[in-house]
Amino acid sequence: MQLIDGNKISKEIRDEIQVEVKKWTDKGERKPHLAAVLVGDNPASQSYVKNKIKDCKSVGFESSLHKLDENVTEEELLALVEKLNNQEGLDGYIVQLPLPKHLDEEKITLAINPEKDADGFHPTNIGKMVLDMPTFLPATPYGIMELLDRSNIPTEGKHCVVIGRSNIVGRPMSVLMSRKSNPGNATVTLCHSRTPNIEEFTRKADIVIVALGKPYYLKKDMIQEGTTVIDVGINRVRDSDTGKNKLVGDVDFDEVKDRADHITPVPGGVGPMTRAMLLKNTLLAYERNISSEKN
């Protein structure tokens, strides 16, 4: 078993981004700028956003955080989105999900300027991704593609089983793995909550990507020897030994690692890659903007 080290690979990517930023700023250009909108006080969202802001600093980006009260109205949030859409020198921004129940996520996502959609969640960008056009890719699936690429895991002609059909992970993941590209060119099966006998699919898979949000879901007897296992789950569970909360994935790592060829840990696998790819999308937006600001 070989561990796919998301901390190490994401650091490589951040280093590459930092070098790129320095090239521009050495030429007298402004820094790339990413903003985050955080609504309410969901502890997981607070922690994710804090880390995203920290990452910006580490690569030389400017960042800004817009914190809104849990009870903010849809109109107020849409007004902020509009302001960010029009803010000069702001290359990209994200609205951290999930939003409180009274806010319509679809409506908010649609209001984001696709050119500043660093998450790659806007339907325009999802459509471009499906059609293989250059665009911002959703950060988690994009990060998984980088993990596979930089770990030299072959995907062409392989059977990839994705478990979970969320808009931000499972569904785009299935599209990227089936694209005519490397990584990609895989035969993809997308399993979900209505798939009977998921183990019949995972046992025939070369690559299993698990993104369903159930702690310890994937067991050793559900995969064949030599499978690459990518764990997207981030679940907070109580550790019976210490009585404290800890983060675990959707994969029962301790038993699956003995049968898997390559496997991502939680934490330290996919999570840091998501953050790195958000920076990469922002850099892409910045480089487009710098070129057009000159013209």
Least CB distance to ligand GUN at residue 168 (A): 6
Query: Whole-number minimum distance, CB 203 to ligand GUN, in Å?
Result: 29
**Residues 241-280 close enough to bind ligand GUN by CB under 6 A:** 274
Contact 205, 261 (CB under 8 A): no
Least separation in angstroms between residue 100's CB and ligand GUN is 13
63 sits near ligand GUN (criterion: CB under 6 A):
no
Q: Which is nearer to ligand GUN, 97 or 290 (CB)?
A: 97
Q: What's the per-residue H, E or C state across the chain? A: CEECCHHHHHHHHHHHHHHHHHHHHHCCCCCCEEEEEEECCCHHHHHHHHHHHHHHHHHCCEEEEEEECCCCCHHHHHHHHHHHHHCCCCCEEEECCCCCCCCCHHHHHHHCCHHHECCCCCHHHHHHHHCCCCCCCCHHHHHHHHHHHHCCCCCCCCEEEEECCCCCCHHHHHHHHHCCCCCCCCEEEEECCCCCCHHHHHCCCCEEEECCCCCCCECHHHCCCCCEEEECCCEEEECCCCCCEEEECCECHHHHCCCCCEECCCCCCHHHHHHHHHHHHHHHHHHHHHHHHHC
CA dihedral of residues 131, 135, 136, 140 (deg, nearest 10): 30
- To ligand GUN, the closest distance from the beta carbon of 208 in angstroms equals 21
Beta carbon nearer to ligand GUN, 177 or 234 = 234
Query: What span, in angstroms and rounded, lies between the C-alpha atoms of 250 and 62?
Result: 34
Among 5, 91, 117, 119, binds ligand GUN (CB under 6 A): 119
The residue from 5, 55, 91, 119 that is catalytic is 119
Q: Does 78 bind ligand GUN (CB under 6 A)?
A: no
Q: Which of 5, 52, 116, 250 is catalytic?
A: 52
Q: Smallest distance from the beta carbon of 95 to ligand GUN, in angstroms?
A: 6
For ligand GUN, the closer of residues 145 and 198 by Cβ is: 145
Binding mask 86-105 for ligand GUN (x = CB under 6 A): --------xxxx--------
Nearer to ligand GUN, 65 or 97 (CB): 97
Q: Is-catalytic flag, 41?
A: no
Residue nearest ligand GUN, CB atom distance: 97
Site string for ligand GUN, 166-185 (x = CB under 6 A): --x-----------------
Q: In the complex, what is the shortest distance from the CB of residue 70 to ligand GUN, in angstroms, rounded to a whole number? A: 16
Q: By CB under 6 A, is residue 139 in contact with ligand GUN?
A: yes
Helix (H) or strand (E) holding 255: helix 253-256
Specify whether 119 is catalytic: yes
Residues lying near ligand GUN in the complex (CB under 6 A): 94-97, 119, 139-140, 168, 274
Which residues are catalytic, by number?
Answer: 52, 96, 119
